[in-house]
Structure 1
Amino acid sequence: MSLEHATPTPAPTVTDPADTGTAGKRPSGPVAFLRGRTGHSLLAVNAVRLLIVIVWLGSWELAARTIMDPFYYSMPSDIWDKLVTWFTDGTSQGSIWSNIAVTLEEAVYGFVLGTVLGIVLGVLLGRARFLAEVLAPFIKGANAIPRIVLASLFVIWFGLGMSSKVATALVLVFFAVFFNAFQGAREVDKTLIDNARILGAGRWALLRTIVLPSATSWILASMHVAFGFALIGAVVGEFTGADRGMGLLIAHAQGNFDAAGVYAGMLVITVVALAAEWLITRLERRLTSWRPQTTAAAAGA
């Protein structure tokens, strides 16, 4: 049994024939991002996005006032009122900012610890084929465990404090990063490894100068998903038992049949996740700035 097929290998990038020899005609890099893959301006794209949001929220508001029961489905105006109340008057669990800070702190700790462990073990096992074969069934078995359920066990082990939430977030993040780091370490060009060994590179030098840079794209790709998992772990842990946090606010709203409060909590968490995604994207660009930019890659950035 092998870990090599634990996660699917990304499909190779297909270059558009129209891109061939047109590096001077099609925008690349930041220009390509601003104009989009099809050449449309960012203003037009954002205008359509805004229109979609307006139509969606407007139809929801109209339906809640005419055919749907707002007690169960709430409505955008009620959700907005709930958000205004939270950010101006606070919540029953204190300031909304303190609750956001608690959830974010738990998620960040779990994300960092899970990412570090996932990278270290993934790269090491990716280069140690015999050890990977030995541990493959145990790792796959652990990955098959419904990890959300572990939140209850972590509360028993670590109590209602931050440790249980960090542990839940860590477990969710670890496997997302581990399998990508493992596969990235396996995908290193064997010719590069052989040439470096001929030149006298040791195991640590190979790992530092060839394996890790080659696996960077795989690792960074997993981090986009991993932080979302970290937030999920923190919120689920707060649902299980906590005295502060966004998960507790949502749990109280659910207990009071306050649909607007549930939606408001979801919206706040979504904004935090999007902000983290933006930061990770900036980090990814800085860490991969050393790679040469081809026309096709730049057009799809």
Structure 2
Amino acid sequence: MTRTRMPGWVAAILGGVALILVWWIFALTVFTPAEGTTFTPVPTPAAVFDWLFVKGNIAGTWSVFGPTLAAAGLGYLWGNGIALLLATIVLLFPKTETVITQVAVVTYCLPIVAIGGISIVVLGGAKNPGDPSATAIFLAALVCVFTTVVGALLGFRAADKAALDVVHVYGGGRWMQLRKVRIIAALPSILNALQIAVPTAFLGAVLGEYLGAITAGVGPTLIRLQGQLDSAGVWSVFLLCAVFALAAYGLMGLLIRLVTPWVAGETGKAA
């Protein structure tokens, strides 16, 4: 007897419904308002829906998320570009591996809150209201470096040795091996690292805005809502952050399937 496998989209819907139910139960039973107050630390899904759609706050979503997405995008490009450049330098000049690997590890281990405070002093916030924050761009770039450096190096080293020997026999050097063999072999690992860096860059940008003295973006919006004890607003912004991050992560996953169909098991489709 064969067992029918549940489609992925059905499992995703059921999981989302179960998560909402658990959230609702905890909001009504565990996270109730303190005695003598009306403040609810964890609002119900209905309260979040009311804040977003009934009160119409969803209409101002882009004005809140626009600067943050711009900062995350710029930081993503800078951070991953630097990481790929460092990985390439290691391949062309192997003696630099120890130094570059240590630099990547340091960027991962540094306390981002402390670095954020320093970057505010050095870089400042946004030049004009509504512009992406320089601190947010820097932190978004910083948190991408380690993952992409490691992913690129692992991918470059996964190249077939026989193919590398063929290039060497025909007079090709390390640069030729990189262009003809290593980049193709490393593409799945690099793209996976770039996909992981998408939500990471968004988180870095939000933290940069939260620490920086700016007036537009997710960070200052959260500060304002927290000051007003608007838990429904805070949770709504949190959920919208998750939606934006998941959407960008999913789009990057779709790009990976299109660019590397042999990894996704779609070689036949590509042919």
Category of TM-score, reference length = shorter chain: 0.7 to 0.9
1:176 and 1:135 map into 2 onto residues whose CA distance is 13
**Cα offset, 1:61, TM superposition:** 4.9
After superposition, the C-alpha distances for 1:245-288 in whole angstroms (9 at most, x for unaligned) are: 01211111122222212111101111101110111011111211
After superposition, the C-alpha distances for 1:62-117 in whole angstroms (9 at most, x for unaligned) are: 427xx7225222222222222223536x6xxxx33111111111111111111111
Aligned in 2, Cα 1:48/1:291: closer, same or farther, shift over 3 Å?
closer
Amino acid at match of 2:48: I
* Residue equivalent to 1:29: none
* Residue equivalent to 1:149: 114
**Stretch moving more, 55-64 or 95-104:** 55-64
Matched, 1:212 2:183: yes
Gaps of 5+ in 1: 1-25, 27-36
* Equivalent pair of 1:115/1:174 in contact (CA under 8 Å): yes
Aligned in 2, Cα 1:62/1:135: closer, same or farther, shift over 3 Å?
closer
Aligned match of 2:7 in 41, 46, 55?
Answer: 41
**Cα offset, 1:188, TM superposition:** 2.2
Aligned in 2, Cα 1:211/1:105: closer, same or farther, shift over 3 Å?
same
Amino acid at match of 1:277: Y
TM-score normalised by L of structure 1: 0.75
- Secondary structure of the residue aligned to 2:40 is helix
1:294 and 1:278 map into 2 onto residues whose CA distance is 18
Correspondences of 1:1-301 after superposition (within 5 Å):
39-42=5-8, 44-63=10-29, 68-69=32-33, 71-84=40-53, 85=55, 87=57, 95-161=60-126, 162-241=133-212, 242-289=214-261, 293=265
- Secondary structure of the residue aligned to 1:277 is helix
2:14 and 2:156 map into 1 onto residues whose CA distance is 41
**Stretch moving more, 190-199 or 284-293:** 284-293
2:117 and 2:260 map into 1 onto residues whose CA distance is 39
Residues paired across the two proteins, number: 254
Aligned in 2, Cα 1:285/1:47: closer, same or farther, shift over 3 Å?
closer
2:49 and 2:11 map into 1 onto residues whose CA distance is 25
TM-score normalised by L of structure 2: 0.82
Amino acid at match of 1:78: A
Amino acid at match of 2:7: S
1:278 and 1:82 map into 2 onto residues whose CA distance is 27
* Equivalent pair of 1:148/1:233 in contact (CA under 8 Å): no
* Residue equivalent to 2:129: none
- Secondary structure of the residue aligned to 1:74 is coil
1:260 and 1:99 map into 2 onto residues whose CA distance is 16
1:38 and 1:126 map into 2 onto residues whose CA distance is 48
- Secondary structure of the residue aligned to 2:41 is helix
- Secondary structure of the residue aligned to 1:73 is coil
* Residue equivalent to 1:17: none
After superposition, the C-alpha distances for 1:173-196 in whole angstroms (9 at most, x for unaligned) are: 112211111222223222221111
2:228 and 2:96 map into 1 onto residues whose CA distance is 52
